[in-house]
């Protein structure tokens, strides 16, 4: 369905719910909590994109891994 058509239909439904008196109206506390949760989710997604998961394969690149450069022949 076209996005503009979907938006138009949703708008009509919201207006009808308000006229009927069954629409949800946010309190300032509910809005604050929803904003906090959204901010936390957004921050979490950004962190996941920036840092690889533990145990994940290193990114493919031509640069050697510093641990590989150290070698293991000098370990006790």
Q: What is the rounded average pLDDT of the residues 31-37?
A: 94
Distance between CA 33 and CA 39 in Å, rounded?
Answer: 10
Cα dihedral 6→11→13→15 (10° resolution): -170
Name the average pLDDT for the chain: 81
- Which pLDDT does position 33 carry in this prediction? 95
pLDDT tens track for 37-64: 999 998 888 888 887 666 666 656 555 5
pLDDT band, residue 74 (cuts 50/70/90): low
This model's pTM is above 0.95 = no
pLDDT band, residue 70 (cuts 50/70/90): low
The number of angstroms, rounded, from the C-alpha of 24 to the middle of its chain's C-alpha atoms is 25
């Amino acid at each position: 369905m076209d996005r503009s058509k979907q938006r138009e239909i949703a708008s009509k439904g919201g207006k009808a719910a308000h006229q009927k008196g069954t629409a949800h109206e946010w309190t300032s506390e509910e809005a604050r909590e929803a904003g906090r949760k959204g901010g936390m989710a957004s921050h979490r997604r950004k962190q996941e994109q920036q840092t690889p998961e533990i145990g994940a394969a290193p990114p493919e690149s031509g640069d050697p891994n510093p641990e590989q450069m150290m070698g293991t022949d000098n370990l006790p």
